[in-house]
Chains A and B, each alone.
Chain A
Amino acid sequence: MTVDSVLQRTRAYITENFLYMRKDVQLGDADSLLERGVIDSMGVMELVQFLEKEFGIHVKDDDITEENLGTLAAIAKYVAGKG
């Protein structure tokens, strides 16, 4: 799985599930999901479940950090690095 495909599929998921009520929001690859109010602590758990199921990876508790999951680009890099 490439960085780009992870990024596209994750973007589609986030748009459909976290931004469905904010059609005016354009989410950049490097935008902070937390600071832009896209994902809160509950949303993080949902996102982790999605990544595990969609890409067949295991996300360790210690990996749930802003560095790994804070932006679309970070997620893509983290997930692709696991594959």
Chain B
Amino acid sequence: MCGLAGIARHEPRGVPDEVLRRMAAALRHRGPDGYGIYAGRRVGLAHTRLSIIDLVSGAQPLTNEDGRIVIVYNGEVYNYIELRRELEPLGHRFRTQSDTEVLVHAYEQWGERMLERLNGQFALAIYDRRDESLFLARDRFGVRPLFYALHGGDLLFGSEVKAILAAGEIAAAPDPAGLDEVFTFWAARAPRTPFRGVHQLEPGACARWRDGRLTTARWYALHYESVAAEPADALATLDTLMRDSVRLRMRADVPVGGYLSGGLDSSITCALAAAASPHDLRTFSVSFDDPALDESDFQREVAAGVKSRHAVQQIGRREIAAVFPEVVRHAETPLVRTAPAPMFLLSRLTRDQGIKVVLTGEGSDELFLGYDIFKETAVRLFCLRQPASTARPKLLDRLYPYLAQGTGGAARGGEFWRKFFLAAAAPGDPLFSHLPRFALTSRIREFYSDDVKREAGRRDVVDELRQSVPSGFMGWRPEHRAAWLEMDTLLASYLLSSQGDRMGLAHGIEGRFPFLDHRLYEFTSRLPVGSKLRGMHEKVILRRWARGIVPPRVLARHKQPYRAPDIPAFMDAGRPGYVDEMLGEPALRASGLFDPAAVGGLLRRCRDGRATGFAENQAFVAILSTQLWHDAFIRDFTPPAPLPADRADVRLDDSAAAPPSLEPLLH
């Protein structure tokens, strides 16, 4: 995996070599194995490389034969071998064995439509010297990030916001709408970010910059069109797709390992990876001191079953608090939970064990309706169809049994608990499934300072989401609407980034996601809801298929959400000094985002051990992480020193390309 960055100039005044080396330095963690730049009059590109495919000659930026198409690229296109076989007979000559070079020629051959042919996870920037334009694109599900900012007709872009800031041409400021989205959906929705004037390309989107203007378009969109009955060959199709998806994702010139949570999804990916791997599979897990969060019993069972060499990262409260500022610096956004921190520690362990690439189970819960929110949606609708029924609402008490531990139990909350869910939304509301969660998360906004509250009152991010659902949305099954919302608001913007890309690449670890093969998504999007969620049973067809692949005990398990300690991680007597500093009145006044009296009230309840509910745990983590984020990027952003010029593997400029006037001589 890699990092990319660059600047496109409205006027051809060049991008200094030193600026590009500083942008590359900001992304060094993503690509510790090498770096390169292209310093042209119109466009400058920077790339940091994590070598995975073609370790010898895959350095970037890379050009086509005549140097008129220049690419920097972050990701993997798994079907690059098949694409190369298509391109060679069409006259394209290859100098390397890399997937990057396949993209250059694919772009030459098919233009922007090449994206539809790619199976993979990628962000790319292609400088097309033929018309001095720049083409940006991001994969279908947004596995790999791409941020950009327009500044006086110039375009600055990068895999992370810190690369854009490192150029020293724009200053960071909070975006109130972006913060509102984080404190409603858990993350800002693309194209928004928490930074004013900094945007992210949407998943499945591409953009063309030319003459100082940027035009964006979607090249892939999520869609559901389920059939009435499960096709007779559904299991066979699922089997083919799952195995092929894993087979493609084992392509690498370094050993591929696996993250193992102990749940169904990663047990499947690890089992298939072990069968396909030429090496002994390496697996990696997090284990929690808190037995309510720990799944190590299941992890050990699966690891033994697939005969992997297994390594465990133990997580207590102190480990989370110790790395949390670094986690925020990598995530580049306020967080509403600490769950990214264990993933940060896990990628460090994985790197230290010599592995660069891991398969993980992300995406399965979205595709096969695994999350509790889908059951919650079905149960709420079931209750609202018979409002007078007193028996139906009792199903809600069964929804979150793990929350009952140590609280006296949700069942004791009885009527109140049920009413919270049943009164939260009308069935005809496009956001029906998610409004209870949005309402709960939005309580963070009650801690805003008066200034931010005034600013926030001018917009309604929930209604913006409501207005942005695709045409035909209300014709989909309610569970599929919920799946779309889950993917739109959370998958790319939080799970694949704050818990995924940013935590893995903090230590040069590339995650690969067999469940996010678009062929598999499209297959599941056409299945009837009942093939995925039936009553209170989730991932029905996946469980049927996985018999004989994962241990029976794992197969019989119900989904356990991945959680990490929140407030308790920061309340130990030996907590790091930054916690009190960041939540103290001077720091709160300096950022101006939260009301010091309200935060003081929260701290009092934390010290008294009373702040045990969701709302206050989210508020605490949100406020602390926002303060850390503000401190790292807005109050005191220090650009890194440029990478040394003599260490670059690639240094190109416009002379790498044949000048247009010489073109006739070359033919």
Partner of B420, one of A16, A22, A40, A45: A40
- Type the 1/0 row for A58-72, where 1 means its CB is closer than 8 Å to any CB of B: 000100111001000
A35-83 at interface with B (beta carbon < 8 Å)? 35, 37, 39-46, 48-49, 61, 64-66, 69
Q: Does A17 contact B (CB under 8 A)?
A: yes
Q: Does B578 contact A (CB under 8 A)?
A: no
* Nearest CB of A to B127, in Å: 50
Cα distance A16–B447 when bound, in Å?
A: 15
Tell me whether A42 and B415 are in contact in the complex, defined as CB-CB below 8 angstroms, given that A20-B598, A20-B602 are known contacts.
no
With CB as the reference atom, state the residue of chain B lying closest to A20: B601
* B615 cross-chain contacts in A, Cβ below 8 A: 40, 42
- Type the 1/0 row for B596-628, where 1 means its CB is closer than 8 Å to any CB of A: 011001101100001011110001000000000
Q: Is the CB of B595 within 8 A of A21?
A: yes
B406-424 at interface with A (beta carbon < 8 Å)? 407-408, 410-417, 419-420, 423
Q: Is the CB of A21 within 8 A of B602?
A: yes
Q: Is the CB of B613 within 8 A of A23?
A: no
- Type the 1/0 row for A5-33, where 1 means its CB is closer than 8 Å to any CB of B: 00000000000110011110000000000
* A20 cross-chain contacts in B, Cβ below 8 A: 597-598, 601-602, 604-605
* B412 cross-chain contacts in A, Cβ below 8 A: 45, 48, 61, 64
Cα distance A74–B428 when bound, in Å?
A: 33
With CB as the reference atom, state the residue of chain A lying closest to B612: A42
Q: Does B247 contact A (CB under 8 A)?
A: no
Q: Does A34 contact B (CB under 8 A)?
A: yes
Q: Is the CB of B614 within 8 A of A42?
A: yes
Q: Is the CB of B595 within 8 A of A17?
A: no
- Type the 1/0 row for B427-458, where 1 means its CB is closer than 8 Å to any CB of A: 00000000000011001001100000000000
Tell me whether A45 and B601 are in contact in the complex, defined as CB-CB below 8 angstroms, given that A34-B420, A35-B423 are known contacts.
no
Q: Is the CB of A39 within 8 A of B416?
A: yes
* Nearest CB of A to B475, in Å: 32
Q: Is the CB of B413 within 8 A of A21?
A: no
* A17 cross-chain contacts in B, Cβ below 8 A: 605, 610
With CB as the reference atom, state the residue of chain B lying closest to A40: B420
Q: Is the CB of B413 within 8 A of A44?
A: yes
Cα distance A35–B424 when bound, in Å?
A: 10
* A22 cross-chain contacts in B, Cβ below 8 A: 446, 598
With CB as the reference atom, state the residue of chain A lying closest to B594: A21
* A39 cross-chain contacts in B, Cβ below 8 A: 416
Cα distance A34–B219 when bound, in Å?
A: 44
* B614 cross-chain contacts in A, Cβ below 8 A: 40, 42
- Type the 1/0 row for B142-161, where 1 means its CB is closer than 8 Å to any CB of A: 00000000000000000000
Tell me whether A34 and B612 are in contact in the complex, defined as CB-CB below 8 angstroms, given that A41-B410, A64-B414 are known contacts.
no
Cα distance A68–B408 when bound, in Å?
A: 19
* B411 cross-chain contacts in A, Cβ below 8 A: 61
* Nearest CB of B to A39, in Å: 7
Q: Is the CB of A40 within 8 A of B613?
A: yes
With CB as the reference atom, state the residue of chain A lying closest to B600: A20
Give the residue among A22, A48, A49, A69 with the most B Cβ atoms within 10 A.
A22
Q: Is the CB of A23 within 8 A of B416?
A: no
Q: Is the CB of B447 within 8 A of A21?
A: yes
Cα distance A40–B597 when bound, in Å?
A: 22
Q: Is the CB of B598 within 8 A of A34?
A: no
Q: Is the CB of B601 within 8 A of A64?
A: no
* B613 cross-chain contacts in A, Cβ below 8 A: 40, 42-43, 46
Cα distance A61–B415 when bound, in Å?
A: 10
* B598 cross-chain contacts in A, Cβ below 8 A: 20-23
With CB as the reference atom, state the residue of chain A lying closest to B417: A41
Cα distance A17–B619 when bound, in Å?
A: 14
* B419 cross-chain contacts in A, Cβ below 8 A: 34, 66
With CB as the reference atom, state the residue of chain A lying closest to B408: A45
Cα distance A63–B610 when bound, in Å?
A: 23
* B416 cross-chain contacts in A, Cβ below 8 A: 34, 39-41, 44, 64, 66, 69
Give the residue among B415, B601, B614 with the most A Cβ atoms within 10 A.
B415
Q: Is the CB of B420 within 8 A of A41?
A: yes
Q: Is the CB of B420 within 8 A of A21?
A: no
Give the residue among B416, B447, B614 with the most A Cβ atoms within 10 A.
B416
Given A23-B598, A34-B419, A44-B413, 13 more A-B residue pairs with CB atoms under 8 Å apart are: A20-B601, A20-B604, A35-B423, A37-B443, A40-B440, A41-B416, A42-B413, A45-B407, A45-B412, A46-B613, A61-B411, A64-B414, A69-B416
Q: What are 23 pairs between A and B in contact, CB < 8 Å?
A: A20-B602, A21-B598, A21-B601, A21-B602, A21-B619, A22-B598, A34-B416, A35-B423, A37-B439, A40-B614, A41-B413, A42-B407, A42-B612, A42-B614, A45-B408, A46-B610, A46-B613, A48-B408, A48-B412, A49-B408, A64-B413, A64-B414, A64-B416
Chain B residues close to A by CB (< 8 Å) = 407-408, 410-417, 419-420, 423, 439-440, 443, 446-447, 595, 597-598, 601-602, 604-605, 610, 612-615, 619
8 pairs of A and B residues whose beta carbons are closest in the complex: A20-B601, A42-B613, A21-B598, A41-B417, A41-B413, A44-B416, A21-B446, A45-B408
